[in-house]
Amino acid sequence: MSAEQPLLRVVRGNPDDTELAVLTAVVAAIAAAPVQTDEPVVPSRWGAPQVRRPLRTGPGAWRYSFR
């Protein structure tokens, strides 16, 4: 894209500055969104019960929360 061409161009209507700002924000958000792929998403195993230990309850249980 050359420097002379605008990124957005209004072809109908007469938007005010607020409407142009909203349009620009929406287009920028869509452009920054991650690209969808056809590959399945593999869930993280950190939440699996086999990985984490059961939580202790009772007095002093907070000491064991980081172990």
Which runs of E-coded beta strand occur in the chain?
Answer: none
Contact 61, 55 (CB under 8 A): yes
What is the rounded distance in angstroms from the CA atom of residue 1 to the CA atom of residue 48?
A: 48
For 2-46, the pLDDT digits (tens) are 668 877 888 899 999 999 999 999 988 988 888 777 888 788 877
For 50-59, the pLDDT digits (tens) are 766 677 788 8
Write the CB contacts of 64 (distance below 8 Å, at least 6 apart in sequence): 55, 56
Q: Which residue has the tokens 């059961």?
A: 54
